[in-house]
Amino acid sequence: MKAEENERITRTGPGTAGGDWMRRYWQPVALTEELDTGRPVVPLRLLGEDLVLFRSDDGTPEDSTLPSKVRLTAYPVQERNGIVWGYLGPGDPPELPALDCFAAPDAYTFAFKGFLDCNWLQALEVGIDPAHASYLHRFEEDEDPEESYGKQFRGASLGTDLPMTKILREYGRPEISNARTDYGQRIVALRRLDKEGQDGSRTHVRITHQVFPHGITIPLSATMSITQWHVPVDDTSCYWYAMFTSLDHPVDKATMRAQRLEGITLPDYKPVRNRANNYLFDPEEQRSATYTGLGSDINVHDQMAVEAQGRIHDRTREKLSRSDKAIITYRRQLLAAIDEVAQGRSPVTLLEDKAEVESRGPIPLDGIGPTGRWEEFWAEAIADLRAASPWASTWTAALETGPAGVRAEDAEPEDPTVFAPRSGAVPTQ
């Protein structure tokens, strides 16, 4: 990547091309709980701007002359399932896209956040790299899946009692494909569990999604997903905001929050393990228990990996490989979207209407199905899960990227397998 391209996709402050593009989307600005804990005003910094967030009563003193003398910039906000969203762009804001996390009842969601001492883009890119989980998040021992509630990669894959940690540890070279979609891209990682030619061969199927501008949707368990956004504070720091959405049961919010409070400080939601204390690295743990020696919270593993790249990663020195397909695709889409806005147009991934997004998803999956049939397995598994959901059972599952499919000219020239076309529609009930 050229240095000027790296600048273009990492800089998001006022007046930058990347900042103008990102301001076309709603941004998470705070957790609702930050306003519900007695703090009347929450200071925050977003996209390089210093702002305050507060709940207000309408009106000013009737005899005040202040409104005629002072003008302050104000941005529209809305609350949705534990997160306060702000729109910093021009004109009327778009609709929030039709994602599960926005449409689900509050009882079936939980929101949290955390700070990263680096540029937003490297924080996002670790989330769209399917191969890293087999190494960065390697655990040498597996927990009882029954004790895995709220913990990522600690439960069992759908349809089996096989822990995700065991699969990731023993099958470290997934076959990766991806496809451009209206919302960003879908990423598929396949790990074959049996020998080739063996009857009844099974494959671990993990489907995740990148959602513009800076979101990812990944499975936490067989029935719970995480939608996570990586929001620039400025060019050298960011917050991740995560919304956990359950299909089958209300979320135990107290347990989920208590698990995450162990690793952060309030009121800034900054991690206890950080660059200044070497992330509390434990060499004995690294020898016997985990790949990183940084404890069992995978957010810390990711934090170390992305912060170690520097506050703004120098992409001119990279050597990307086939496992980086999704990262390459995202950067190309990102540069194209920034250019669209710079030329006075709206990016095609704006998602400014309420149309279905792969059936109010996009729908992730972590499960084990028959080898060579991941598309059918995904469609059937999702149809069953949604049909059984108390709140999503009436929605249609249109599992396709769109009527145009994947155009031949979108394929990467050095690897024609990058984009896997999808077709067909599957009802949930």
For the segment 384-413, the average pLDDT, to the nearest whole number, is 56
Average pLDDT, the chain: 85
Show the CA angle centred on residue 366, arms to residues 253 and 417, nearest 5°: 135
Residue 123 inside a domain? The answer is yes
Q: Which helix (H) or strand (E) holds 69?
A: helix 66-69
Model confidence over 200-221: pLDDT tens digits? Answer: 789 999 999 999 999 999 999 9
Closest CA to 148 of 136, 162, 159, 135: 162
Does residue 320 have a pLDDT over 50?
yes
Our measurement of the distance from residue 176's CA atom to the centroid of its chain's CA atoms, rounded to an integer in Å, reads 18
Judge whether residue 410 has pLDDT over 90: no
Output the furthest CA–CA distance in the chain (Å, rounded). 84
Reported as type and span, the H/E element at residue 381 is: helix 374-387
Q: Does residue 194 sit within a domain?
A: yes
215, 405, 418, 123 alpha-carbon torsion, rounded to 10°: 0
Smallest CA-to-CA distance from 212 within 334, 117, 64 is with 334
Identify the pLDDT of residue 182: 79
120-127 and 298-307 helices cross at what angle (nearest 10)?
130
Within a domain: residue 327? yes
Local confidence band at 68 (pLDDT 50, 70, 90 cut-offs) = low
Tokens 């919270």 sit on residue: 297
Of 351 and 237, the one with more pLDDT: 237
How does residue 119 score in pLDDT terms, banded at 50, 70 and 90?
Answer: very high
Residue 132, domain member (yes or no): yes
Token code pair at residue 40: 């009347």
- The domain tally of the chain equals 1
CA distances, 292 to each of 119, 260, 281, 289 (Å): 22, 19, 8, 9
- Asked whether residue 180 carries a pLDDT value surpassing 90, the answer given is no
pLDDT of 303 above 80: yes
Give the span between the Cα atoms of 246 and 252, in whole angstroms.
10
Predicted local distance difference test score (pLDDT) of residue 363: 83
Output the CA angle 176-125-229, nearest 5 degrees: 115
Residue 68 resides in a domain: no
Residue 405 banded pLDDT, cuts 50, 70, 90: very low
Please compute the mean of the pLDDT values over residues 263-290 and round it to a whole number: 96
Contact 193, 368 (CB under 8 A): yes
Say what the pLDDT of residue 153 is: 84
> Is there a domain that residue 92 lies in?
no
Contacts of 174 (CB under 8 A, 6+ apart): 130, 131, 134, 189, 190, 191, 206
Question: Quick one: pLDDT at residue 60?
Answer: 78
Range of the structural domain that residue 248 is part of: 3-16+100-410
- The pTM of this model reads 0.87
- pLDDT-based confidence at 426, cuts 50/70/90? very low
In a domain, 198, yes or no: yes
Choose between 74 and 123: higher pLDDT.
123
Is position 108 within any domain?
yes
What percentage of residues in the chain have a pLDDT greater than 90? Answer: 62
